Amino acid sequence: MAINVRDNIPGEIFDYQTLIEVLKGLAYPRNRINDLLKHGIIIRVKKGLYVFGDKYRRHPYSKELLANLVYGPSYVSLDYALAYLGLIPERVEALTSVTPNRSRKFITPVGLFLYRQIPAQAYEVGMARVEGEHGQAFLIASPEKALADKIVSVRGARIASIGEMGRFLEEDLRIDVGAIRSLSMERIEDFAGRYRSLRLRRLRGYLRRLQRSKGVPPNKVRLNNIQTARSLCRQDACRSLP
């Protein structure tokens, strides 16, 4: 049965309808699904969404794509996107995303997925479609949007001036200052309007100050992920990127 299912499902991530279609010639297909789960041939990420077990995978599945599928509409942003894009040094395990729907948390066998609600007008811009390995394309925030989403989401931090914004970025987030020098102030200003956020206007002020200074030159290694995200962005999936 494992070989039959694996041969008939080319991707690593699949849904219930795909599974039923493969098993439709067998008696009691739902019982067959339970058997596949029991023997670790497939793993249920959430109701109706599956990946193959370790021994049956042909290649790694994309956790970023899973994040898009577990709860939607959504795209990867906040801490995970900042780490993916090389803006912060920490490794982030939880898949963090934004959504126009209510905030949710999913504890699954393949990891923790966190979704933060943001205003619809802020959600609809600043996303990029990235072509991952093995055709696993996913949506992720642009560098400016990931940072904007994070700054707005932080509670309790005192960011009442441009100077305090700089300290927050450098000390609390441990942002790569060299990398953010290339961020677009125009995009940040657009997000500030959509969020109606004074914090983001202070971020724009900090970036203006940074870009006018003779500070540390941009870190080309960390910028590589940012440039890759932009170059892989498709016009229909990413309105605010060039």
- pLDDT, one tens digit per residue, over 23-61 is 988 888 889 999 999 999 999 999 999 999 999 999 999
Would you say residue 127 has pLDDT above 80? yes
* Peptide bond before residue 109 is cis, with ω within 30 degrees of 0: no
Task: Please report the DSSP string for 192-230 in residue order.
Answer: HHHHT-HHHHHHHHHHHHHHHS--SPP-HHHHHHHHHHH
Helices and strands (H and E) in the chain: how many = 12, 9
Beta strands 111-117 and 49-52 are: unpaired
pLDDT digits (tens, 9 = 90+) for 148-184: 999 999 998 889 999 999 999 999 999 999 889 989 9
Task: Judge whether 52 and 12 are in contact, CB under 8 Å.
Answer: yes
Task: Judge whether 14 and 61 are in contact, CB under 8 Å.
Answer: no
Residue 224's closest CA among 179, 176, 173?
179
Q: Is the pTM of this model over 0.95?
A: no
User: What are 177's two structure tokens?
Assistant: 């200052």
Distance of alpha carbon 216 from alpha carbon 182, whole angstroms: 12
Q: How many CA atoms lie within 13 A of 210 on its CB side?
A: 26
Give the type of residue at 76. Answer: V
pLDDT digits (tens, 9 = 90+) for 91-114: 999 999 999 999 999 999 999 999
Q: What is the largest CA-CA distance in the chain?
A: 71
Percent with pLDDT over 90 in the chain: 75
The 3-state DSSP class for residue 113 equals: strand
What pLDDT shows up at residue 228? 47
Distance of alpha carbon 25 from alpha carbon 110, whole angstroms: 30
User: What are 161's two structure tokens?
Assistant: 């001036």
Task: Judge whether 80 and 95 are in contact, CB under 8 Å.
Answer: yes
Residue 14's closest CA among 37, 60, 45?
45
Q: Is 237 left (phi over 0), alpha (psi -120 to 50) or beta?
A: alpha
